[in-house]
Amino acid sequence: MPKSQFVDFKSVKAAITMEQVLQHYGLLDKFKPGADSLNGPCPIHKGSNPTQFRISLSKNIWNCFSECKHGGNVLDFIAEMEKCSIHAAALKAIEWFNLNPEAMAASADKTEAGESKPPAPKSATRPASSPKPAPTSASESNVPNAPLKFRLDKLERQHPYLTEQRGLKPETIMDFGIGFCSKGMMTDRIAIPIHNAKGEVVAYAGRFVGEPPEGTPKYKLPPGFRKSQELFNIDRAIKEPADLPLVIVEGFFDAMKLYQHGCRKVVAIMGATLSTAQEELIRQHTNRHSHIIVMLDENEAGKAGREDIACRLSKFCFVRVNQFSQPDMEPEHLTVEEVQQLMEGVL
Ligand SMILES: [Zn+2]
């Protein structure tokens, strides 16, 4: 990236949180969370007093009450840590968190007044009707997502959105570790941990509770997180018996609901397209005797996605494409009996 490149500081600032920057430096576990804060020793002057450096999560700013005697925003922090200019700090942030400056410049006006949201991947176009996260871009980097060094553990598990609106049982909620989040970057969203195949948490997805207002995304993913590298629930699915079919669905809630209905060997591609990395992940955990059921939503995106997926996966295992008779049907809305019938069809 040339030094002279125009950088929209405001968008970069809005796209990353202090929490993520601490995580980048491997410092997050030195900090203790408060109601709306993170408190710890100052990483800039390398102090040791655990209350001298305070971060306001909602304002996304920091302050050192000790030697530095000042504070600032997330770019000021990187500039202090790297002993560089704000411009250089912004360029570093773009690189570290895989931000897309062009997309950010285009959406800067929209995000200014609202919440900070990650910029869309370069080729992210999706039908307005699709409720799922944007499909992955073929040009996305193949760098694996690093495991998170923190856990969101103060989540409200019995939130009515989960139990009543989504019909999830307490056991399912606990198994997936999801819950309503009341602070940090996932404030007022349902936090859904995404694990890699080794079972390490690599990100939290945040689902807005109910219908989001215009301009607010239904799902929020951490900036820099590469969804295309992961399959939701892969860590649990690969522990299921080899002779069971692997079911591929689009969304988190499709996977959780099928799991609740006893179909536990299920993964979600978090959209309606399968990335090359996801295809490779499936290939690693299947063999030529394996069965796969592709069960996407019964809409245009789902129909297009499932044809492509079936075509690619049938090169190395048995693939069955599920078709619902009802338009707009989603696996999440299947009853336990319907799930059993569908599974008996292949076993
Ligand atoms: Zn300090």
Segments of the chain assigned to CATH 3.90.580.10: 9-113
Q: For 268-312, what is each residue's pLDDT tens digit?
A: 999 999 999 999 999 999 998 999 999 999 999 999 999 999 999
Kindly state the tokens that stand for 316: 């190395």
Q: Which residues surround ligand 1, an ion (CB under 5 A)?
A: 42, 44-45, 64, 67-68
Of 25-34, 176-185, 231-240, the range with the highest mean pLDDT is 231-240
What is the token pair recorded at 37?
A: 């804060």
Cα of 16 vs centre of ligand 1, distance in Å, is 21
Fold exhibited by the domain 160-226? DNA primase DNAg catalytic core, N-terminal domain (3.90.980)
Q: How far is the CA of 60 from the centre of ligand 1 (A)?
A: 17
- Ligand 1 centroid to Cα of residue 65, in Å, is 7
* Residue 258 pLDDT grade (very low, low, confident, very high; cuts 50, 70, 90): very high
Going from the Cα of 220 to the center of ligand 1, the distance in angstroms, rounded, reads 32
For the chain, give every residue range classified as CATH 3.40.1360.10: 234-344
CA distances from 102 to 99, 120, 345 (A): 9, 10, 48
The pLDDT, as a whole number, for residue 254 is 98
Q: How far is the CA of 78 from the centre of ligand 1 (A)?
A: 13
pTM of the predicted model as reported, rounded to 2 decimal places: 0.62
Selection from 5-9, 67-71, 215-219 with the highest mean pLDDT: 67-71
The closest alpha carbon to 186, from 224, 227, 217, belongs to 217
Torsion of CA 240, 245, 248, 249, to 10 degrees: -90
Q: Is 107 helix (H, G, I), strand (E, B) or coil?
A: helix
- Centroid of ligand 1 to alpha carbon of 228 (angstroms): 38
Ligand 1 mean position, distance from CA 91 (Å): 24
Q: What is the pLDDT of residues 101-158, one digit of tens each?
A: 666 554 444 433 333 444 444 443 444 444 444 444 434 456 789 998 888 878 999 9
CATH number of 234-344: 3.40.1360.10
Q: pLDDT tens across 177-199, in order? A: 999 998 888 889 999 999 999 99
For residues 224 and 98, the answer to whether their CB atoms sit within 8 Å is yes
- Closest to 247 in 3D by CA, of 162, 165, 306, 171: 306
Q: Tell me how far the alpha carbon of residue 56 lies from the centroid of ligand 1, in angstroms.
A: 16
> What per-residue string of b and e applies to 17-26 under the rule 16 or more CB within 10 Å gives b?
bbbbbbbbee
Domain 9-113 has CATH 3.90.580.10: yes
Distance 126 CA to ligand 1 centre (A): 45
CA–centroid distance, 38 to ligand 1, in Å, is: 15
Tell which residue, 8, 15, 283, 281, has the closest CA to residue 145: 281
